[in-house]
Amino acid sequence: MTPRGGRCLVGGAADSWVLKNRAGRMIENEYPLGFKIALQPQGSRHRSRARSQRRGAVAGDDAAAGYEDALIEEGHGDDDNSALARTIRRLSGLEG
């Protein structure tokens, strides 16, 4: 399913499996299980530590780990990791 407005991205440099298979669901605020968000934070923190040891911290990994922790605390740990869109929707004012 191509998301509304996503037709210009499909086939271009931004094209991806996530765009084709998850973007429409994220727009609809639906997160079918693929990989539980509760399993993701450990990986994010590991990447952040490894990068900081090599060449400095990466803000995106730290932010993602914080968003994942908050989603788990809110009871969304069993949602697909695309549920990070919940936080992005909230931060952008799309949800209260």
pLDDT of residue 45: 54
Q: What share of the chain has pLDDT > 70, as a percent? A: 67
What is the rounded CA–CA span in Å between residue 40 and residue 81? 7
Transcribe 44-57 into DSSP letters: HHHHHHHHHHHH--
Q: Domain map of the chain by residue range?
A: 1-30, 32-96
pLDDT band for position 2 (50/70/90)?
very low
pLDDT band for position 16 (50/70/90)?
confident
Q: Compute the average pLDDT of residues 21-28.
A: 83
Partnered with residue 36 across adjacent β-strands are 80
Instruction: Return the structure tokens found at 48.
Output: 């952040």
Partnered with residue 80 across adjacent β-strands are 36
Is 48's pLDDT higher than 70? no
